[in-house]
Amino acid sequence: MKVILFDLDGTLIDSTEAILEGFRVTFEKFNKPYPGDREIKKLIGLPLEIMFFKLGIDENVDQYVNTYKMHYRKISTQKTKLLPTSKEAVIEAKKFARLGIVTTKTARYSKELLEHFGLMDYFEVLIGREDVENPKPHPEPVLKAIYLMKANKQNAFMVGDTCLDVLSAKEAGVRAIGVRWEYDENLKKCTEIIKENVLEAVEFIKNF
């Protein structure tokens, strides 16, 4: 049976509003100038600690991450929405494949979001930032999902919207399918297989 691993942000969900607000509140609390929405969006998909570092925070990064997480959790379900076709795609994928989530978001918050949208029961595993030592683009998250599912990676696919997803999959020996989203303008440099949305990606996998 096929296995499909999905990224979250920019693939199944749009939490841009919540992410930007989380960063604005955090920078304000520490009396630091907010870098701007555009700069934040460029980094979405990376682990929080790396995002803050790239935004110029090189001391007490853990405090920034914790402040962000505390605020994000308060607003995440209200300010996150499913991307168009996401629910339809998951339901369709479940008909012919086993499903998992591989994200750099915190697994606990990711589960809360998926439960909020009524989708968590479709997935056998969810690998979040705290579940691995090396996040995407390292292959560890993809390999761990495959291992926990006792699956064959030759039958596995990773669907994501950034080069982080594609590179992680390729390094793990898993086929990667890109979906278009604003977070990664360089996606076409990482993979030739890019679909307009996650439902198109699922249909491609079904017919592969």
| Catalytic residue set | 7
For the chain, percent of residues with pLDDT exceeding 90: 93
Indicate whether 129 and 53 sit together in one domain.
no
Phi, psi of 113 (to 5 degrees): -65, -45
Indicate whether 99 and 52 sit together in one domain.
no
Q: By C-alpha distance, which of 15, 4, 197 is closest to 117?
A: 15
* Summary mean pLDDT of the chain: 95
Cβ atoms of 186 and 34 closer than 8 Å: no
CATH of the domain at 61: 1.10.150.240
CATH of the domain at 169: 3.40.50.1000
pTM, entire model: 0.94
Indicate whether 27 and 10 sit together in one domain.
no
Indicate whether 87 and 111 sit together in one domain.
yes
Q: Which of 40, 61, 76 lies at the terminal end of a domain, its last residue?
A: 76
- Tally of structural domains, the chain: 2
Query: What is the separation, in whole angstroms, between the first and last Cα of the chain?
Result: 12
Indicate whether 36 and 118 sit together in one domain.
no
pLDDT at 198: 97
Confidence of residue 184 (pLDDT cuts 50, 70, 90): low
Cα–Cα dist 71/37, whole Å:
17
Indicate whether 88 and 191 sit together in one domain.
yes
For the stretch 119-163, pLDDT in tens is 999 999 999 999 999 999 999 999 999 999 999 999 999 999 999
- Domain housing 29: 15-76
Per-residue HEC secondary structure of 144-191 comes to HHHHHCCCCHHHEEEEECCHHHHHHHHHHCCEEEEECCCCCCCHHHHC
For the stretch 86-128, pLDDT in tens is 999 999 999 999 999 999 999 999 999 999 999 999 999 999 9
Indicate whether 99 and 200 sit together in one domain.
yes
Indicate whether 61 and 143 sit together in one domain.
no
Indicate whether 89 and 35 sit together in one domain.
no
For the stretch 7-56, pLDDT in tens is 999 999 999 999 999 999 999 999 999 999 999 999 998 999 999 999 99
Q: Which of 49, 76, 103 lies at the terminal end of a domain, its last residue?
A: 76
Q: What tokens does 208 get? A: 């592969």
Indicate whether 119 and 155 sit together in one domain.
yes
Side-chain half-sphere CA neighbours of 196 within 13 A = 3
Cβ atoms of 145 and 100 closer than 8 Å: yes
Indicate whether 67 and 128 sit together in one domain.
no
Indicate whether 85 and 153 sit together in one domain.
yes
C-alpha angle 114/115/120, rounded to 5°? 65
Q: Which of 59, 76, 93 lies at the terminal end of a domain, its last residue?
A: 76
pLDDT at 188: 85
Q: By C-alpha distance, which of 179, 41, 9, 11 is closest to 105?
A: 9
